[in-house]
Amino acid sequence: MILPGWSNDGDRLWQYQIQQLAEQYDVETIVVSNQSNASDMADEVLRRAPETFILLGHSLGGFIAQHVAIKAPERVERLILVGTFPGNVPDEQRTFFKQGMLEPLREGAIPEDYWQTLNPSCVDPERAEDGVLLAKMAAGQNLSCESLINQTNVLISAQDISEKLPAADMPTLIIYGAQDQLFSKAMQELMLDKLPNATLEVVEDCGHMPSIERPMTVTKLLVSWLASDKNTFR
């Protein structure tokens, strides 16, 4: 199961990985956007999920995935966290979420320049003017204004859950783009430290969108790790 990040429908941004993994796995994408807090979103995932499953979450989806793994560790066979955070958001980042992402939506519509303003900061700065890459990203941003508001409120109100992560004892793979401008490497190392059975893989020349910035590298990591008997590189 794939939980895509903020604003994403998942199918397009994870299309390459889905195509490769579908040869061995039943892959489903779940978008949660009708709730305004992370716990309720996690409950919705658990309601819609099979009895046991492998869970991949990107960005906001990764934060929700951690909530799912904490709530029901017996149901999550393996956990994959991509470009995400454990809720420990600095004040200045919350301000950005509020002023840069939420307030432009207050009129009940998505401004014409909304994605053009935000999306370049989500990729490796060296590719901030890569029109093909940005077009791929924009193609997956199909949520309604109301859904974006709900998801942004979850980011703004996120609480640090790192001390609860030891309950998520399933094998876990953390994937992080070395040039991610949204979530720090320190956040990844905190999750690595708190999760009992985790490994961290850093993808070079990559920002916050590894699935489309470095699709082959990410897919290779996923396939190798899922095929590993130990399910972890530690």
Read off the pLDDT of residues 176-205 as tens digits, 9 standing for 90 and up: 999 999 999 999 999 999 999 999 999 999
- Would you say residue 233 has pLDDT above 90? no
User: pLDDT by residue (tens digit) across 98-152?
Assistant: 999 999 998 888 998 999 999 999 999 999 999 999 999 999 999 999 999 999 9
User: pLDDT by residue (tens digit) across 16-47?
Assistant: 999 999 999 999 999 999 999 999 999 999 99
Q: What is the mean pLDDT of residues 155-180?
A: 98
Per the document, the length of the chain is: 234
Name the pLDDT band for 9 (thresholds 50, 70, 90).
Answer: confident
User: pLDDT by residue (tens digit) across 106-119?
Assistant: 888 899 899 999 99
pLDDT of residue 56: 99
Question: What is the residue extent of each domain of the chain?
Answer: 2-227
pLDDT of residue 231: 52
CATH number attached to the domain at 2-227? 3.40.50.1820
pTM here is 0.95
